Amino acid sequence: MENNQRLVVEGGYPLLGTTRVSGAKNAALPILAACILTTGDFRIANIPPLMDIKVMIKMLNALGVRAEYLANDQVVIRNNRKIRHIAPYELVTAMRASFFVAGPILARTGFAKVPLPGGCAIGIRPLDIHINGFKAMGVDINIEHGFVQMTAKSLRGARIYLDFPSVGATENIMMAATLADGTTIIENAAQEPEIDDLANFLIQAGACIEGAGSSTITIQGVSRLVGRDYAVIPDRVEVGTLMIAAAVTRGDVCIKGAVPDHIEPIIRKLKDAGVGVDVTPTDIRVVGSDTITSVDIETMPFPGFPTDMQAQFMALLSIARGIGIVTERIFENRFMHVSELMRLGADIRVDQRQAIVKGVPQLWGAEVKITDLRAGAALIIAGLVANGQTRIYGLDHLRRGYYELPQKLERLGARIHLI
């Protein structure tokens, strides 16, 4: 039944009005995993009810942490029982971010058995950086029968240089280090805002962490963490997506609850393209212009242009004046949206890690399929500006990561409905 569901977008209507951003999925997931480290009863607020979040909540319950989703974006955590060692196969394979539980289980119990997350639509996404970090902390690793088995008599602090500033590895190692013996220094750490948010949650629970949000993070292990109420940061990818939707439809939209510092590259690139962007400490207003000019983008670790915004920005470049070059530096296979954008009339040529986007005066409605989460947002953006009706299939991808995106767009005046 689910598979036949589609979004129908009638293009050509400007987005107008005010909207509010939801909590960040990519901050909420590691923070929920970090609850394995923290004993006590507490609440985490600003957690959007997304499919990925529900998977993580199931995971916590399977591991012995009682986690319950309340209405109003809150999760109640009760962590007073023994932690189980084995992460269920069906949950890890449903979502790669489930591997975040490895570091916390290890730190609490000294033994973790977590299935390999397996392939992923946007690339192979190996785990070597996580695993090398754990090894440096004295963990024995055995990979067999599809499981990563990790054993540590005692987890000890270490100096760990990451070959690449992986977001997940930085988070996993940082979580493990909070309860390790001694000091861990993570060098070439990822600097994404979600790492800072995770560190703040852990610090509030009693962890000793310095430098999160910079390339060197120092963690002094402590003997226990006690969870405290916390609220997750707003979703910078949702903000960026709404900004681009407002820009392509030549709309005028105020996005409330955003943190402008988190989306500086999007603001810069949209301004370079001729889009009006006004920023206050908590709100962002986007005013579309008659002509959008092509710009080049290159995805990079934070504070570079986020890979999670690449597909949406490509939708904008599809109707910009001139040629824009999109270079994808984070994932090796993140251009699957190109063929779908081309079905809508976009003129794009892919050459290995680059897509050359020649702006066209008009996209045309067509039937398209979502291949991954951010590709879904790109297709909606393209549909909003295309001439006629765009029918978008594969909505499960979208529900994994955007909370009510079609509804938010509809409230801003988009003609978009679910069939």
Region of 38-46, 121-129, 204-212, 246-254 interacting with ligand UD1 (CB under 6 A): 121-129
**CB distance 117 to 93 below 8 Å:** yes
From CA 317, how far away is CA 346, in angstroms rounded? 9
Among 47, 101, 129, 258, the residue binding ligand UD1 under the rule CB under 6 A is: 129
Region of 33-41, 128-136, 339-347, 408-416 interacting with ligand UD1 (CB under 6 A): 128-136
From CA 203, how far away is CA 262, in angstroms rounded? 21
Q: Which residue is nearest to ligand UD1 (CB)?
A: 168
- Most distant CA pair in the chain: distance in Å? 64
Window 357-396: contact mask with ligand UD1 (x via CB under 6 A) = ----------------------------------------
Residue written as tokens 């979600």?
A: 194
Among 123, 142, 226, 268, the residue binding ligand UD1 under the rule CB under 6 A is: 123
Which C-beta is closer to ligand UD1: that of 168 or that of 324? 168
**CB distance 234 to 46 below 8 Å:** yes
Which C-beta is closer to ligand UD1: that of 172 or that of 318? 172
Residue 184 CB, nearest approach to ligand UD1 (Å): 17
Which C-beta is closer to ligand UD1: that of 11 or that of 306? 306
Residues in contact with ligand UD1, total (CB under 6 A)? 22
Residue 301 CB, nearest approach to ligand UD1 (Å): 7
What value, to the nearest 5°, has the Cα angle with vertex 167 and ends 166 and 171?
115
Does residue 227 belong to the site contacting ligand UD1 (CB under 6 A)?
no
Among 128, 140, 210, 347, the residue binding ligand UD1 under the rule CB under 6 A is: 128
Does residue 118 belong to the site contacting ligand UD1 (CB under 6 A)?
no
Residues 324-343 close enough to bind ligand UD1 by CB under 6 A? 330-331
Residue 160 CB, nearest approach to ligand UD1 (Å): 12
Region of 119-127, 146-154, 269-277, 315-323 interacting with ligand UD1 (CB under 6 A): 119-127
Does residue 322 belong to the site contacting ligand UD1 (CB under 6 A)?
no
Which C-beta is closer to ligand UD1: that of 190 or that of 219? 190
From CA 402, how far away is CA 28, in angstroms rounded? 13
Which C-beta is closer to ligand UD1: that of 33 or that of 248? 33
Residue 163 CB, nearest approach to ligand UD1 (Å): 8
Does the annotation count 120 as an active-site position?
yes
Helix axes 193-204, 167-178, angle to 10 degrees: 10
Tell me, what amino acid is at 6? R
Does residue 262 belong to the site contacting ligand UD1 (CB under 6 A)?
no
Among 9, 29, 253, 378, the residue binding ligand UD1 under the rule CB under 6 A is: 29
CA 372 to chain centroid, in Å, comes to 12
Does residue 97 belong to the site contacting ligand UD1 (CB under 6 A)?
yes
Pairing of the two strands 283-287 and 208-210: unpaired
Q: Which of 377, 402, 403, 400 is nearest to 9 (CA)?
A: 377
CA atoms within 13 A on the CB side of 148: 27
**CB contact burial 169-188 (16+ within 10 A = b; e otherwise):** bbbbbbbbbbbbeeebbbeb
Among 54, 84, 125, 228, the residue binding ligand UD1 under the rule CB under 6 A is: 125
From CA 355, how far away is CA 353, in angstroms rounded? 7
Residues 158-197 close enough to bind ligand UD1 by CB under 6 A? 164, 166-169, 190, 194
**Annotated active-site residue in 35, 120, 208, 254:** 120
User: Would you say the C-alpha torsion 303, 306, 307, 313 has a positive or negative sign?
Assistant: negative
Among 19, 26, 79, 98, the residue binding ligand UD1 under the rule CB under 6 A is: 26
Which C-beta is closer to ligand UD1: that of 38 or that of 166? 166
Pairing of the two strands 415-418 and 74-79: unpaired
Q: Which of 224, 228, 281, 289 is nearest to 256 (CA)?
A: 281
From CA 396, how far away is CA 365, in angstroms rounded? 21
From CA 295, how far away is CA 322, in angstroms rounded? 8
**Residue length of the chain:** 419
Give the C-alpha distances (Å, rounded to integers) separating 390 from 9, 10, 68, 244. Answer: 5, 7, 37, 18
Does residue 240 belong to the site contacting ligand UD1 (CB under 6 A)?
no
The residues carrying an active-site annotation are: 120
Catalog residues that contact ligand UD1 under the rule CB under 6 A.
Answer: 26, 29, 96-97, 123, 125-130, 164, 166-169, 190, 194, 307-308, 330-331
